[in-house]
Amino acid sequence: MKNRANGLGLVLMAPAVLLLIAFFLLPATLTGIFAFTNMSTSTGISGGAYVVTETVLRKLEATDLDPKLRAGLGEKSYTVNAETLAAATSADIEPGFLAEIEDRLSGKTYAASSAFEDDLKSLPSRPRRIRDLKLATEPFERSVINTRYPDRGQFEAALQTFLPAATKADLETIATASYTGWTWTRDNFIDLFTRADTLRLVANTVFYVCATLAFNVFVGLFLAIAVFYLPSRAGGVFNVLWLLPRITPVVLYAIMWKWFTWENGFLYVAAEDLGLPAFNYMKGSVPTAWATVILVNGFVGASFGMILFSGALRAIPIQQLWSSEVDGANRWQQVTRIILPQMRWPILFVTSYQTLSLLSSYELIWLTTNGGPGSTTTVWSLEAFHTALNNYTGNLQYGLGAAMALILVIVGLALSILYLRLFRFNELVSKPKIEF
């Protein structure tokens, strides 16, 4: 019986566990792994290849590789001889065409593909498609430069036929320089800890989280208490109004704020009418940009505090308030002496809960100021996103971005464990009531 129940439990849990492993655990692990690589657009994610290019040759100048070998690496030629003709025969080139090549071009060597192609074009049975002509040149090519070798074995084999003089150590040097994929490195973290920008990012993030939290908690508290004292109909209107930002899709919400703060927007026109400085408040100055960012996020977050605090208020025994009124306390004294002391836990809860979501949420900032003006309102998570996935030059640095994300993940984990400790987790995980 017990085993059966266990079995059922596992069956019922399986889909959840699978999904959570695939889309939580695995990505988190991958993030941790990426953080220690130099992955980027140019290295690709799924491994690399070996290719010698002019850039690689330049890189090799700084090594102790024999200059003769270096020069050999850069050589490129096309030769028509018995060996290459044999290679061409097995390469599926049209026999008639091949016969003409053997007949007319045997013994010739070309330094550039264009010269060879010109001669091929002059042959009567040349292929009509230019691509076929180009493919026909390949078996005759004697060079490694600009050829992509998918793995080390093939690359070294090619090098050995082409540069017989190269030693094992030489091959190692060349292969290291020619590898296009990613390598393991700790540089991302070193980079992050030494960059001047990091400090500013951290400061921005701390400021953003603290200011938005303060707004959320104070406004949430004020709303809850004010609505508590209002007749229920008026209170209900405000309740609904403040919940709207929570359920409004982010994109529309961002557009509404643009309309509110941009040139020729609501505030702009109002300020013009009043003779105040009118400009694009969202992007036009650092203080107004910060104010916008904090308000945009704060208006969404305040309702969370409002709901929780309202619940906590309703839990306060009403007799306490009545008796205080009998003692002649006014509203203000009621709030400060009775209500606020009992709000300690809810406030702590809201604070810790929202710290986490604010630390990691960049969606609204991205859609409003996008970290501008300059990078004055760029926070850590937004910068990580830009670094890894979305920037103008398009060279996405997965490794560095993952390192930034990993730091955020660690901070997030530490905070969430801390707050589980705070809120007496053991009560939440007490054993199920029925056990067989």
Partner 1 sequence: MSILKTTKTALLGSVLAMGFASGALAEDYTITVWSGGTGETGSYRWEAIQMAADILEREYAVTGQDVSITVEHQEWSGWDDFKQAVTLAAEAGNAPNIIVSGHEDIGPWSRSGLLRPVEDYVDFDAWPLSQIYPNLIDIASYDGVVWGLPQDAEARPFFFSRAHLAEIGYSQEEIDALPQRVQDGEYTLYDMLDDAKAMQDKGVVAERRGFMPRVNNGTDYWQFYVSFGGDMVDPETGKLVLDRQALTDMYQFFVDAADMGVVSSTHLGTTWDDWHQAVSSDQVGIWHGGTWHKAEWEAKWGLEDFFGEIQYSLIPAGNERGRANTISHPLVYLLSNTGTDDDAVIASELITIATEPRIAALHAVKSGKVAIGSEEAKVPVFANDRWSSIATTELLPYATAVPNDIDFGVVWKAMYAGLESSWTGTSSVEDAVNTVESEVTGQLGDAIIVR
Partner 2 sequence: MTKNHTVWPVICILALFSAPLAIMYLFLVVDTFSNSAPGSFLPHEFTLQHWRFLWNPDVTGDVWKPTLNTFLFTISMVAIVLGVSTTAGYAISRLNLPFRRFFLSSLMVMHAFPTVTLLIGVFLVLQYAGLYNTLIGVILVKASLMLPLGIWIMKGFYDSVPWEIEMAGVQDGASRFTVWWRLILPQVKPGLMALSIFVFIDGWSEYLLPRILAPAAQIEVLSVYLEAVSDPDSVTYNFNLFKSVGLFYTLPVIVLFVLFQKPLMNIFSGGTKG
Residue 94 binding partner 1, by CB under 8 A: no
Cα distance between residue 235 and residue 30, in whole Å: 48
Q: Which of partner 2, partner 1, none does 285 bind, CB closer than 5 to 8 A by kind?
A: partner 1
The least distance separating partner 2 from the CB of residue 153, rounded to whole angstroms, comes to 25
Residue 249 binding partner 2, by CB under 8 A: yes
Q: Which of partner 1, partner 2, none does 284 bind, CB closer than 5 to 8 A by kind?
A: partner 1
CB-nearer residue toward partner 2: 101 or 223 = 223
Cα distance between residue 177 and residue 185, in whole Å: 16
Q: Is beta strand 77-79 parallel, antiparallel or unpaired with respect to 141-142?
A: antiparallel
Binding mask 295-324 for partner 1 (x = CB under 8 A): ------------------------------
Cα distance between residue 382 and residue 404, in whole Å: 10
Q: Which of 107, 252, 392, 395 binds partner 2 (CB under 8 A)?
A: 252
Residue 151 binding partner 1, by CB under 8 A: no
Cα distance between residue 381 and residue 207, in whole Å: 14
Q: Which of partner 2, partner 1, none does 184 bind, CB closer than 5 to 8 A by kind?
A: none
Q: Which of partner 1, partner 2, none does 433 bind, CB closer than 5 to 8 A by kind?
A: partner 2
Nearest-Å Rg of the Cα atoms of the chain is: 34
Note whether 253 and 330 are within 8 A (CB).
no
The least distance separating partner 1 from the CB of residue 262, rounded to whole angstroms, comes to 7
Residue 183 binding partner 1, by CB under 8 A: no
Q: Which residue has the tokens 């694009």?
A: 280
CB-nearer residue toward partner 2: 62 or 318 = 318
Cα distance between residue 311 and residue 297, in whole Å: 22
Helix (H, G, I), strand (E, B) or coil at 149: strand
Cα distance between residue 262 and residue 289, in whole Å: 11
- The length of the chain in residues reads 436
Helix (H, G, I), strand (E, B) or coil at 85: helix
Residue 53 token pair:
């290019």
CB-nearer residue toward partner 2: 135 or 364 = 364
Q: Which of 124, 164, 231, 374 binds partner 1 (CB under 8 A)?
A: 374
Q: Is beta strand 141-142 parallel, antiparallel or unpaired with respect to 148-149?
A: unpaired
CA nearest to 296, candidates 348, 329, 258, 353: 258
Q: Which of 200, 207, 321, 409 binds partner 1 (CB under 8 A)?
A: 200
Q: Which of 62, 252, 428, 429 binds partner 1 (CB under 8 A)?
A: 62
- Residue list 153-172, contact with partner 1 (CB under 8 A): none
Cα distance between residue 154 and residue 106, in whole Å: 28
- Residue list 193-232, contact with partner 2 (CB under 8 A): 219, 222-223, 226-227, 229-231
Residue 367 binding partner 2, by CB under 8 A: yes
Residue 233 binding partner 1, by CB under 8 A: no
Q: Which of 156, 343, 384, 386 binds partner 2 (CB under 8 A)?
A: 384
Note whether 145 and 53 are within 8 A (CB).
yes
Residue 412 binding partner 2, by CB under 8 A: yes
Cα distance between residue 77 and residue 88, in whole Å: 15
Q: Which of partner 2, partner 1, none does 367 bind, CB closer than 5 to 8 A by kind?
A: partner 2
The least distance separating partner 2 from the CB of residue 307, rounded to whole angstroms, comes to 5
- Residue list 320-359, contact with partner 1 (CB under 8 A): none
Q: Is the previous residue joined to 373 through a cis bond, with omega within 30 degrees of 0? A: yes
Q: Which residue has the tokens 């709207």?
A: 244
Count the residues of the shown chain that bind partner 1, applying the rule CB under 8 A: 55
Residue 391 binding partner 1, by CB under 8 A: yes
CB-nearer residue toward partner 2: 123 or 223 = 223
Residue 127 binding partner 1, by CB under 8 A: no
Q: Which of partner 1, partner 2, none does 393 bind, CB closer than 5 to 8 A by kind?
A: partner 1
Residue 274 binding partner 2, by CB under 8 A: no
**Of all residues in the chain, what percent are helix, strand and coil, respectively (each to 5)?**
70, 5, 25
Note whether 380 and 202 are within 8 A (CB).
yes
Residue 178 binding partner 1, by CB under 8 A: no
Q: Which of partner 2, partner 1, none does 276 bind, CB closer than 5 to 8 A by kind?
A: none
Q: Phi/psi at 75 (nearest 5 deg)?
A: -75, 150
Residue 48 token pair:
């690399």
Task: Please give the helix or strand (H or E) that residue 88 lies within, else none.
Answer: helix 82-90
Note whether 28 and 409 are within 8 A (CB).
yes
Q: Which residues bind partner 1 (CB under 8 A)?
A: 40-46, 48-49, 53-55, 58, 62, 114, 117-118, 128-131, 134, 146, 148, 180, 191, 194-197, 200, 262-263, 279-280, 283-286, 289, 369-370, 372-376, 389-396
